[in-house]
Amino acid sequence: MFKLITLQDTIRIPPETFGKPLEKVGRDQVKQKYEGIVDEELGYVIAVTGIQVSPIGKIIPGDGATYHKVTFSLLAFYPIIQEVVEGDVVEIADFGAFVRIGPVDALLHVSQLMDDYISYDEKQGVLLGKETKRKLTSGDQVRVRITAVSLGRAGSSGKIGVTARQPFLGKLEWLKQEQAGEAPEKKPAEGKAKAA
């Protein structure tokens, strides 16, 4: 889930930036500190969207910089367990697929893809269901449910696990087929074969 978070902090304005617009220098300092971090409370911080820098700063003895209070907004992505999301498959491996959800990739393990025996074709980069003949490749769009989130400590990239083994989840193409009443594997009807 994407969200806007408003925070307050104190930033250091280095002496070499004195004379430059305070808002621009403040924005650069906040961006440097927050953009791209992964935090347990904030999630994946994508961008600083708005900033207000107090024009009154403090000087600390022994440091030529000034310290100013800032109020700013962050655009962040925070994955929530049980949330249903759609994303694109960006990589296929023998153990599963990586699905891009928001700014990060989540792991869709082969055991969570479908109720079928799944084989991996390394040459074609495909996960293939034995009975259903359903294929999953890079570029496919899928709907999945988030089952595990580990944002870890600051500096780590975090990990997200997802599943497609529930009703109304899976490759979007499969879901359209199911809505149209088509079976995963089309078999000729017995009664029609005799009549022809």
Can you tell me which residue has the tokens 């500096």?
Answer: 155
Rounded to whole angstroms, the Cα distance separating 14 from 72 reads 19
Mean pLDDT of 10-14: 93
How far is C-alpha 17 from the geometric centre of its chain's CA atoms?
A: 36
Terminal-residue alpha carbon distance, the chain: 54
Q: Is the pLDDT of residue 8 over 70?
A: yes
More confident residue, 153 or 20: 20
Q: Is the pLDDT of residue 88 over 90?
A: yes
Mean pLDDT of 61-78: 92
Mean pLDDT, rounded, of the chain: 86
Strands in 126-129's sheet, in edge-to-edge order, are: 118-121, 126-129, 135-137
Q: Residue 154: its pLDDT value, please?
A: 47
Can you tell me which residue has the tokens 């971090």?
Answer: 37
Q: Is the pLDDT of residue 183 over 70?
A: no
Longest dimension (CA), the chain: 97
Q: Residue 192: its pLDDT value, please?
A: 44
Q: Is the pLDDT of residue 60 over 60?
A: yes
Q: What is the pTM of this model?
A: 0.74
| Tokens standing for residue 146 | 């988030």
Domains delineated in the chain: 2-77 (3.30.1490.120), 84-179 (2.40.50.140)
Q: Residue 36: its pLDDT value, please?
A: 86
For the chain, what percent of residues have pLDDT higher than 70? Answer: 90
Please, which pLDDT band fits residue 194 given cuts at 50, 70 and 90?
very low
CA atoms within 13 A on the CB side of 36: 5
Helix, strand or coil for residue 103?
coil
Q: Is the pLDDT of residue 93 over 60?
A: yes
